[in-house]
Amino acid sequence: DASDIEKGTYPHYMLKEIEEQPLVIRKIIQAYRNERGELAVDPEIQRALHEADRIYIIACGTSYHAGLVGKHYLEKLAKIPVEVHLSSEFAYQMPLISEKPLFIFISQSGETADSRAVLVKVKELGYPALTITNVPGSTLSREADYTLLLHAGPEIAVASTKAYTAQLAVLAVLAEVIAKSRSRQSGVDMARELGIVANAMETVCGSKDEFEQIAREYLDSAQNAFFIGRTLDYAVCLEGALKLKEISYIHAEGFAAGELKHGPIALIEDGTPVFALATQARVNLNIRGNVKEVVARGANPCIISMDGLAQDGDRFILPEVHPLLTPLISVIPLQYIAYYAALHRGCDVDKPRNLAKSVTVE
Ligand code: G6P
């Protein structure tokens, strides 16, 4: 309940929740350690993943965006094929289901009606379900076979921030635990890498004045804003655009940078703000090329890159983290930029118009 949670010295819950992210990641590392100090999950959950020939992630909104990143983790590390679906679409157009599916519901609140409708169908069909949620005892947690908790603490602001990075961290832990139990040797020391992420998050939060400046420069008089990226950066761009439109009401879209030429580039005009993420070595040259293409059409680019991949003119350089974990870091500037853009426009940051924290109608 919002009235029980103090904002402390923070003017808004959203700002407080953005800045709690390093702490939440450290809590998750602690919560998922066993007596031997290794990352672990309930053995029954481990078994459920081992038995699955395919995972179906079902979620809405920001949780769906976390699922898009989680697919990369589960496929890369645990080597299980994953499909990610919007609850409201899946409910009315079920794809072909594999022989041994496992359903993973991602929901901060654990109460979203669209997701629950799918869970009810999935249970009727007799399939196993795991819920990843911030709220113990929530409906989606009670009705699923298994639960993994986010340990993010209550999230009050309607725009989700710390729950998103917590979802990514829990999905990374889950993927890594499965990877280890399969091969006994895995490339990633996830507890250590997440510790590095928590420190990097602190560094990024220390630059919030810079993000306020970026919001002022790029968005104070903007009508539209685009977020472009490739692979994992693309998933984060969808989340960055959602944050901005939710609370500042600026029309914002996230695009796969390679698709710009197939349509979206027609939208670029003189001065159109384009936020570009460049945290992935494999596509660094490609995204740089895409930025040149939009700049040639008049765009005002704001490139957020990562140490090691940065080039002259990049507007912000993130500290280096494991390449799979960049979304936990690169989303933070986008959260702050949305926050300050909304603040500068006099919007109600914590309670945007037309939106609810937990949507209990289909
Ligand atoms: C609402 C909220 C979003 C959230 C979505 C899914 O639309 O405003 O911030 O991402 O529901 O919520 P859930 O609790 O299922 O993660």
**pLDDT tens per residue across span 77-134:** 999 999 999 999 999 999 999 999 999 999 999 999 999 999 999 999 999 999 999 9
Give the DSSP letter of residue 76: I
pLDDT for 208: 97
Of the chain, the percentage scoring pLDDT greater than 90 comes to 94
pLDDT tier, 6 (very low <50, low <70, confident <90, very high otherwise)? confident
Helix (H, G, I), strand (E, B) or coil at 324: helix
How much distance in Å is there from the Cα of 60 to the middle of ligand 1?
6
> Tokens 């917590």, residue?
166
* pLDDT tens track for 15-35: 999 999 999 999 999 999 999
> 26 φ, ψ to 5°?
-65, -35
Among 160, 161, 167, 349, say which to mutate for ligand 1: greatest number of ligand atoms within 8 Å of CB: 160
| Alpha carbons 248 and 19: distance in angstroms, whole number | 19
CB atoms near residue 310 (< 10 Å): 16
Q: What is the mean pLDDT of residues 2-13?
A: 79
DSSP secondary-structure letter at 353?
T
Distance in angstroms (rounded) separating the CA atoms of residues 201 and 166 = 12
Residue nearest to atom 4 of ligand 1 (CA): 61
Confidence of residue 361 (pLDDT cuts 50, 70, 90): confident
pLDDT at 1: 47
Q: Which of 149, 145, 133 is nearest to 32 (CA)?
A: 149
Ligand 1 contact via 131 beta carbon (within 6 Å): no
- What 189-195 contacts at long range (C-beta under 8 Å, 24+ apart), as own/partner pairs, is 190/39, 191/29, 191/33, 191/37, 191/38, 191/39, 193/321, 193/322, 193/325, 194/25, 194/28, 194/29, 194/169, 194/325, 195/26, 195/29
What digits encode the pLDDT tens for the residues 166-180? 999 999 999 999 999
Ligand 1, pocket-test mutation among 14, 63, 150, 335, most atoms within 8 A of CB: 63
86 Cβ below 6 A of ligand 1: no
> Per-residue confidence at 8, pLDDT binned at 50, 70, 90?
confident
Residue 330 or residue 5, greater confidence:
330
186 C-alpha vs ligand 1 centroid, how far in Å? Answer: 33
Best mutation site among 62, 114, 158 for ligand 1 pocket (most ligand atoms within 8 Å of CB): 62
Give yes or no for residue 255 having a pLDDT over 90: yes
How does pLDDT run across 45-90, given as a tens digit for each residue? 999 999 999 999 999 999 999 999 999 999 999 999 999 999 999 9
Point out the residues that are catalytic: 357
Average pLDDT over residues 205-232: 97
Cα–Cα dist 186/351, whole Å: 43
- For the Cβ of 63 lying below 6 angstroms from any atom of ligand 1, the answer is yes
Q: Please give the pLDDT value at position 86.
A: 98
pLDDT over threshold 70, residue 4: no
Distance CA 360, CA 362 (A): 7
Query: Ligand 1: does its nearest atom lie under 6 Å from the Cβ of 160?
Result: yes
Q: What is the DSSP string of 142-197?
A: HHSSEEEE-------SSS-SHHHHHHHHHHHHHHHHHHHHHHS--S--HHHHHHHH
Query: CA-to-CA distance for 320 and 331, rounded, in angstroms?
Result: 14
Give yes or no for residue 301 having a pLDDT over 50.
yes
Asked if residues 13 and 157 have their Cβ atoms less than 8 Å apart, the reply is yes
Tokens 């940078």 label which residue? 257
Q: Decide whether any atom of ligand 1 lies within 6 Å of the 62 Cβ.
A: yes
Q: Are 287 and 321 in contact (CB under 8 A)?
A: no
pLDDT score of 7: 86
Q: State yes or no: pLDDT of 3 exceeds 70.
A: no
pLDDT of residue 185: 66
**CB-ligand 1 contact for 61 (6 Å cutoff):** yes
